[in-house]
Amino acid sequence: MKQFLRFLVAGVSALVLSGCVLVSTQAQPRVIPAGQVPFGLLHRTIPFTDNASVHFVNETVYLVNYRGALAPRHRLTPAPATLFEVLAAMAKGPTADEASLGYSTHWPTALTINQASLHHGLGYVDVSPRLAELSINDQRAAVAQLVFTARALGASKGVTITTNQQPYAVPLPGGRWGNVATPSSFAMYLAS
């Protein structure tokens, strides 16, 4: 009798579990009407939370326009945007549409942003050592792009840059060096 009961339980379990793999398949994708999308995936709130939602804001990043000057462009970021998120968006460079319009970047793809924060109008940014390996002119151009993107988020006093947590002397225009890169020092890079 025990053996029969075990066999019966195993058979019922197998039958129940077989329903998990009986999913209809189709050769081509199909559109699911909004009313049939499961689990509230189309709701304005995050599924499976207590009505938490994500809001996005447009933030300004600076890219190089077809004339070679820095010009503002916009990126969607989760609100509230952090300096790190906005600089990471800048570091990705132009979108395909922007590239087709002649936009490019001074920021090399091998140059990463490790950390970024904003305190009382001053940005603190740590980048990979690749920055110091660039030519002086390329360093200035990349720093200018970073400074104006950071200024757009509130770094009105400028940006202090480190490379892998080590001090970095910013090559300022005119042959000078400094600890803080300010927007006024790099104004010649902006589109007029």
Looking at residue 38, its pLDDT comes to 78
Question: Is 63 domain-assigned?
Answer: yes
Per the listing, tokens 């202090």 go with 160
Q: How many domains does the chain have?
A: 1
Provide the mean pLDDT of the chain. 87
Question: Is 49 domain-assigned?
Answer: no
Looking at residue 62, its pLDDT comes to 96
Question: Is 171 domain-assigned?
Answer: yes
Q: What is the pLDDT of residues 32-85, one digit of tens each?
A: 887 787 776 777 666 666 767 778 899 999 999 999 999 999 999 888 899 999
Retrieve residue 120's tokens.
């009382």
Looking at residue 23, its pLDDT comes to 58
End-to-end CA distance of the chain: 91
Question: Is 120 domain-assigned?
Answer: yes
Residue 123 domain boundaries = 56-189
Report strand pairing: 158-163 vs 122-127: parallel
Kindly report the number of other CB atoms within 10 A of residue 88's CB atom. Answer: 16
Pick left, alpha or beta for residue 164 (phi over 0 → left; psi -120 to 50 → alpha; otherwise beta). Answer: left
Helices 83-91 and 136-153, packing angle to 10 deg = 140
Q: Decide if 38 contacts 48 (C-beta within 8 A).
A: no
Among 1-10, 20-29, 31-40, 106-115, top mean pLDDT goes to 106-115
Predicted TM-score (pTM) above 0.75 = no
Question: Is 80 domain-assigned?
Answer: yes
Kindly report the number of other CB atoms within 10 A of residue 49's CB atom. Answer: 8
Question: Is 183 domain-assigned?
Answer: yes
Question: Is 21 domain-assigned?
Answer: no
